[in-house]
Every structure is written in C-alpha cells, then in structure tokens.
Structure 1
Amino acid sequence: MTSLNLDTPKKIGILGGTFDPPHLGHLKLATHFAKTLHLDALLLVPSGEPWQKGTGITPAETRFQLTEAAGIDLARAFLYLKIPTQIGIDRIEIERAGPSYAIDTAKALKERFGAQANLIWLMGADSLIKLPTWNSWKQLLEYVNFAVASRPQHDISVEMSAEIAQLLAKHQCIDANTLEKSLHGLIYLDNSLSVDLSSTELRNQLKSPSRSSVATEQIPSHALEIIANLGLYS
C-alpha cells in the first residue's frame, strides 16, 4: 500500500501533512473526499522536512510508519463503506532533500502520473487561509485542483486575506462534479464536513493524565499501537 501504479491517468487525491500523529480527522477528510469526488486513488504524503512547523517534530521515518498504519484503518473504512478508491502512502517528500514544498510535490506527481492526471489537493480551511505563506503558492493551481473542507474554528469569509479572496473569486467552483471537467485551476469549498482535530493539540493532550482516553478516541488503532510501543508523545 506504499506505492500506486496506475495504468491510465486517474483522479487522484493528495493529502499531505506532518501526520505527527495521524488522527481520525485526517481519515474523515480522506474518506469524505474519496466518496464525494469519486477518487480513483488517494495518496497520503507525510512531509519530509515540514519547514513551517518549527522544531520538535517526530522523525520522518517514524511519521511514515504511523501514516502507513493509519492507512490500514483507512483501507478498512473504505472497504466497509464500499469506497473503491485505492490508497497509497507516498515517500516522495521524505526522499526529497531539503524543505518539503507542496509545489515541488505537485510538479513531481504531475510528471509521474502524466499531464492528463487530475490531481486534487485535499486540505482543511485553515490550510487555505495560510496558503499565501506557502512557497510559490500562486503556481500550485497550475498543477492541481483544491478540495477544501470547512473547519469549525476557521471561518474563511472572516479570516481570509485579500489574496485568498481574489484567488477564490477567480478559481472557486460550487459543484464538486466540476472538478472532473478541469485538470487544474479550480477550488471546491465543501461545507458539509467539519473536522476539528489538530495534531498539535493532540500531542499536547497526549502528555496529559487523560492520555489513554484521548488516544483511543482520536487516533487510528494501528497507529496508536505503534505510538504505545515506541513510547511517543509521552
């Protein structure tokens, strides 16, 4: 499940992140968009050097291991829900030297899957709001579409900068099916899913006395087993 070999160009969702740790919010977002957008494949892409996250990040190989484990739970959910989307855990950012920039990943995946592949970058509203801080962010939509899930603590209409307002005015589409008609350049905002889990907050909660209850409620079971075995976040 760590790589995908697709015979023909497909509709491929990309969910990147530090996954430190992966949590049920990631899985809910992945499941929702796999179903809503009828994705042929979904790539979970752990960052190699998450340049915006500062220090204290769990080593990349451990985060990759956790993401693979979470992928097992995600695959079981897809099977139960009869979602045919293939799942891949991709090492593209871990194996690339230097800071992990989304633009480099988008270019590399476009080259890998071909010009006719429909790459859809999945994210929460908080990431869209912060998009102008990303490296070469204005170029991203030349390679991918965006599918954005609402977050309870982030009201896009209130928090977005003038740059994001202009971006939405130019690129937003109302209907998810529209993403099938364009290989790049569209932004779909989905308000039907509201995920309010944060890896940063989760790490802090795991250091508290309520660690065990927090973990079982918010972390996929296979990832949780690795966290317990390695003594992470304690």
Structure 2
Amino acid sequence: MALQVYYGGTFDPVHCGHVAVARAVRDGLDAQVQLVPAADPPHKDATHADAIARARMLDLAVAGEPGLKVDRRELRREGPSYTVDTLRELRAELGPDTPIVWMVGGDSLLQLHRWHRWQELFQFAHVLAVARPGSHLDMATIAEQSPPVHAEVAARWRPPRDLSQAPAGGFAAFELPLQRPESSTELRRRIAAGEAWRDWVPAAVAEYIVRHGLYAVRDVTPASL
C-alpha cells in the first residue's frame, strides 16, 4: 500500500525548496504527498499572508505535479489546530491499515517534544525527518541536542522505505539529495526590498504575489525581479 505523506507548514509563501522537498520524498518513497497549510494563528502578525492566499499559492505551485496535492483540512478547523488532531482525523478517514507519514524538518524534529501531545503522534502515523545535505540526524546527534526526542524515537528508527510496512509508530530520517537555498523569511525580505526573488518561486506563484500585492511587493520592472 502506497505511503500517504503529509507535509505541514505555514508556506508563507511556498517556494521552490518546498516543492523540491515534496518531490524528493514522493520519488524516494514512492509516496503520495499532501501539503497541509496551517490555519491562521490567533495572533494576527504570526503569518504574513492569510490562509486563503497561502493555500491558493500552494495550489499553483503543485499544479500538474503528479502525486502532490494540497490538503486544506487545518484551514476548516475551528480553534487551535494541532498536528495530533490532524493525524487522528486522517487515521479515522484512511482506516487502520494505511501507512501514514508526517514530515518534519530536521530543526523541527529537535523541538518535537514541545509540540502538543507529541508522543501521541506515533499512535496515528510515522514521523519522517527531512535533513539538509551535510546536516546530521543520526541517533548520536539527536541524543545530544534533544534527549527527550531521542528517548522516544531511538527504538522506532527504521529505513525510510520500511515505513510502508506498518501503519504507524516508526521514525526515519530522509536526506535531501541537493542543498536548497530558499527560505520563506529571506524570500519575504527580498520581495519587500525589491531584490531578485522570482527564481525562488514557481512562475504562477510569483504572478499571484505581484497581482495581489503580497509581502509589500514593490512595483519594479520585470528585469529587476
């Protein structure tokens, strides 16, 4: 049974690095990958574009990409939207036997113990940590930098492709084949400053940002974009 992978984030905005990660996991694990935009948080300034705009940019970014889709379930949920609640909902929908994977970045993995009811995640899904090339997500590094996470995942460690052999409960690290330069924070800064930024996002996303004036985009000539 094909892995069902869920890739959560604010995607504020989605950039080519996000799409590259989703493609790499799709191809490396022969999986379906759903990108799950987070809802607008209670604090107005926590995101820079609202949920509707962020989800629409995701639609544009993955249009025509086989095996990549957008899942808006967290945008439809009232109140705080916790990953454990998303995974419980997915498990109820997909049944007890479907292998479900929740993707996190390497930095997020080391902070996993700060998530709401984080140990329950493994009841509903596997956790896949995506590592940048050259970074280390081996057990020794995790033990040194995040002892609580190490205590939980050490016995769950398995090769990424083995995640398809069980519905939930495993942990794996996935190393990206190429380093990516993109960062949403730096991308927003470049857009606001009128610096070069268009090559960091899919063309349709760039057009959406300009058309809707997101991230205080400057009205500059196309050559300087």
State TM-score, norm by structure 1: 0.81
Q: Distance in 1 between matches of 2:204 and 2:183?
A: 19
Structure 1 residue runs of 4+, over 6 Å off? none
Q: Percent identity?
A: 28
Q: State the partner residue of 1:5.
A: none
2:183 is aligned, of 181, 186, 198, to: 198
> Match for 2:39 among 25, 48, 55?
48
Alignment CA distance shift 1:192-1:209 (3 Å): closer
SS at 1:109's partner residue? helix
Q: Is structure 2 residue 52 aligned with structure 1 residue 71?
A: no
CA distance in 1, matches of 2:43, 2:33: 24
Going from structure 1 to structure 2, the CA distance change for 1:232 and 1:31 (only over 3 Å counts) comes to same
1:165 Cα deviation after fit = 1.7
Q: Does 1:35 align with 2:27?
A: yes
- Indicate the residue corresponding to 1:14 in structure 2: 6
Which amino acid counterpart does residue 129 of structure 1 have in structure 2?
Answer: L
Shift of 1:106: 0.5
Shift of residue 50, structure 1, vs aligned partner: 4.2
Deviation, 1:52, is: 9.4
**Aligned to 1:160, which of 121, 130, 145?**
145
For 1:19, the aligned partner's letter is F
**Which amino acid in structure 1 is aligned with residue 167 of structure 2?**
L
Structure with the larger helix share:
2
Instruction: Calculate the TM-score normalised by the size of structure 2.
Output: 0.84
1:136 matched to which residue of 2?
Answer: 117
* Distance of 2:42 and 2:120 partners within structure 1: 19
Structure 1: state its 5+ residue gaps: 1-8, 79-84
SS at 2:175 equivalent = strand
Match of 1:169 among 148, 151, 154: 154
After superposition, the Cα gap between the structure-2 partners of 1:88 and 1:191, relative to the gap in structure 1 and judged at 3 Å, is: closer
The answer to whether the Cα contact below 8 Å between 1:16 and 1:45 also exists between their aligned partners in 2 is: yes
Shift of 1:209: 3.1
CA RMSD of aligned residues (A): 2.3
RCO (CA 8 Å, sep 6+): is it higher in 1 or 2? 1
Residue correspondences, number: 211
Does the CA contact (< 8 Å) of 2:133 and 2:175 recur in 1? no
Question: Is 1:103 the counterpart of 2:87 in the alignment?
Answer: no
Contact 2:24-2:176 within 8 A present in 1 as well: no
The answer for the alignment partner of 2:15 in structure 1 is 23
Larger Rg over CA atoms: 2
Q: Of residues 179, 183, 190 in structure 1, which corresponds to 2:163?
A: 179
Kindly tell me: are residues 59 and 52 of structure 1, through their superposed partners in 2, closer, same or farther at Cα, counting changes over 3 Å? closer
- 1:126 maps to what in 2? 107
